[in-house]
Amino acid sequence: MADHPASTRIRTAVVGTGGIVTGAHLPAIAAHLDELELVAAVDIDQDRLDAFHTTATAIDGIGPVTGHTDLATMLETERPQLVLLGTPPSLHHQQARAALTAGAWVWAEKPLCLTLAEFDDITAAEGPAGTGPYAAVVAQHRYGSGTTHARRLLTTGELGTPRVAHCQTTWYRNTDYYAVDWRGRWATEGGGPTMGHGIHQTDLLLHLLGDWTEIRALAGRLVHDIESEDVSTALVRFAGGTIATVVNSVLSPHEVSRIRIDCDDATVELTHLYGHTNNDWTYTPRPGIDDTRVTNWRTNPDDTPSSHAAQLAGIIHAYRTGTRPPGSGPDARRTIEFNAALYKAAFTGRPVHAGDITPDDPYYTAMHGNHPDWAPATTEEQQ
């Protein structure tokens, strides 16, 4: 409680007290209790709300947390300044809008929303530049010292020009996983591993390499009886000239999350599963590189793991300074646009360029783009 007395701590609420809020948001809040005061929790399921209350209030420094089963009531009675959303994906759009309209900043779980149209509608509800409120998306793999270090080496040219990259999310999900009603459906999850799983790695790839310009892709529904894909692959060209491959799968018994970037002077690789530390990053020099340079690449003075807590520090800083937070605005839109373009390229069999998907494009309002092989057959099925 060092820096701020209770009265100046940021009044924080969580919405959806399930797996991710209890397992990741709560520890992140607990790591920032000098800045945050957890005042309220919302869930439509009273049992989950009660379980969350028990877990939260057992943490030293977290006082009573008022439980609510209705978001609008919570916003009106608790007047939170920061709202963390951990509800199923289809709810994020309207819940983010409601919180922004009530004057609260929003940090929503991935995906922030299901379409580019929803994304633009959320940002339209943000406050003015310089004050906010703003809406940001959880992208915890972008944070932590390993990413910061690698990005600095890449963007300063220390590793030479990035030429070839691989981005791999090869995970395994069984039929029980898809028994949860909101999963595997366009209207509720927004897509398959492209939107729900690989989004962490592709977002990190874009964070490291910058703007993408062109995508060609394939998608398949190979194993699971779901509406969306269970595997997608893409070929991507970046503005800086790098050519990359992307694989998003939930069919892969040997699970791994991987990024590899071959630059003129070195290959940088990240290999992990659900989060990384410095040790998960390696740097391999090309022959002839001076030892001192290699030692500097491999020496990272800080060791902060990627985590919700690491990103939340940036959200708090942005709130305190009234600046756009990391993981919001054009930066977050680029990742959603990447996914929309990947689906469009896969389903139409044609390359898609950045900026192609405008509001009159069917892939602007639905990731399936109303494609007859991929969109639910009737409007009723989309509910």
Cβ-based burial of 360 (10 A; exposed 0-12, middle 13-18, buried ≥19): exposed
Find the part of the chain contacting ligand NAD (CB under 6 A) among 82-90, 116-124, 161-169, 236-244. Answer: 82-90
By CB under 6 A, is residue 276 in contact with ligand NAD? no
Q: Is 110 in the site for ligand NAD (CB under 6 A)?
A: yes
Binding of ligand NAD by 106 (CB under 6 A): no
C-alpha angle 162-191-313 in degrees, rounded to nearest 5: 60
Q: Nearest approach, Cβ of 273 to ligand NAD (angstroms)? A: 11
Q: Is 45 in the site for ligand NAD (CB under 6 A)?
A: yes
Provide, rounded to whole angstroms, the least separation between the CB of residue 18 and ligand NAD: 2
Tokens standing for 119? 């994304």
Smallest separation (angstroms) from ligand NAD to the CB of 34: 24
Q: Crossing angle of helices 199-209/329-348, nearest 10°?
A: 120
Dihedral (Cα; 62, 87, 315, 329), 10-degree rounding: -170
By rule CB under 6 A, what count of residues binds ligand NAD?
22
15 binds ligand NAD (CB under 6 A): yes
Q: Which of 20, 36, 167, 318 contacts ligand NAD by CB under 6 A? A: 20
For ligand NAD, the closer of residues 238 and 338 by Cβ is 338
* CB-nearest residue to ligand NAD: 18
Choose, by CB under 6 A, the member of 9, 11, 13, 17 that binds ligand NAD.
17
Residues in 212-231 at the binding interface with ligand NAD, rule: CB under 6 A: none
Least Å distance between CB 117 and ligand NAD? 18
**Rounded-to-integer distance, Cα 238 and Cα 163, Å:** 10
| Sign of the CA dihedral running 248, 135, 116, 238 | negative
According to DSSP, residue 62 is labeled: -
Contact residues for 333 (Cβ-Cβ < 8 A; gap 6+): 116, 119, 120, 123
Contact residue for ligand NAD among 98, 135, 138, 259 (CB under 6 A) = 138
Q: Is the N-terminal amide bond of 287 cis, ω within 30° of 0?
A: no
Distance in angstroms (rounded) separating the CA atoms of residues 55 and 58: 5
* Residues of this chain that bind ligand NAD (CB under 6 A): 15-20, 42-45, 48, 71, 86-89, 91, 109-110, 138, 140, 196
